[in-house]
Amino acid sequence: MRTLENRGALVTGAGRGIGAAVARKLAQEGARVFVTDVDADALDEVADAIGAGRLAGDLTDPQFADRLVGEADGFCGGLDIIVNNAGFIWPQAIHRMSDDQFDTLVDIHAGAPFRILRAASPLFREAARRDLAEGRARHRKVVNISSIIALSGSAMSANYAAGKAAVIGLTKAMAKEWGRYNVNVNCVAFGMIDTRLTDPAGADNPVLEIGGKAVNIGKMGANADAIREMIPMGRSGTVEEAAGGVYLFCSPDSDYVTGQVVVVGGGLG
């Protein structure tokens, strides 16, 4: 039997990269998956491939989280897993970084997960009450995504580091608040994972439509190669390996693990 049979899972930022790999992994393990991304075309490709529900949209829109959680809950027949993966980089030296550039990164990495968890709170609390009335214990899982940059810092990344550090604080607070409801809240901090943002090839940077404006989110470029040379395992990770780290916190094997941050980075840190 697959370990996530009869589980409903919401994955954000699932149009490509790590988010897409997480959605595929959870579906392979039997979960009924609902996905979201700002890129509707990429999202449709992933959702069609795994039979997932989907809703494209901008997680920085304050109204989006409530709609997203409601549609995910309806499609899945109840939410058991939330993976707050959506995010991007927007590098700049601090003396050139605007308030908007800082605020946008903190919002997508910490504000959006906060709004999603707030929207899911009534569902989780009511589900826990039903479980108690029925005399059963059912664990629900939240996995927030951070970065080793939140733990060690990186030049040109004040906004990204702040957002990723904030989601660690959110994780630890919610683990204490929701423990009584059998909700495990943990965090995966990624090191160097091979995605379009760590690809040094090509001159064109990805552009996202965020908050009604085009955001040139940048790539790590040549810095990616320098970082790879520091990884003790001698290479960067694949998106499938990244998804494996997230799956650990979604599986029944982590039912007594909460409030933790695990680095998935091949020893980098």
Q: Quick one: what percent of the chain has pLDDT higher than 90? A: 85
Using one digit for the tens of pLDDT, what is the confidence trace for 129-177? 999 999 998 999 999 999 999 999 999 999 999 999 999 999 999 999 9
pLDDT value for 235: 93
- State the CB neighbour count (10 A cutoff) for residue 75: 17
Residue-range domains of the chain with CATH: 8-191+243-264 (3.40.50.720)
Residue 90 pLDDT grade (very low, low, confident, very high; cuts 50, 70, 90): very high
**256 catalytic per annotation:** no
Helical segments of the chain, H only: 17-28, 40-50, 64-76, 99-106, 112-133, 148-152, 158-178, 223-228, 239-250
Marked catalytic residue, from 160, 181, 247, 256 = 160
End-to-end CA distance of the chain: 36
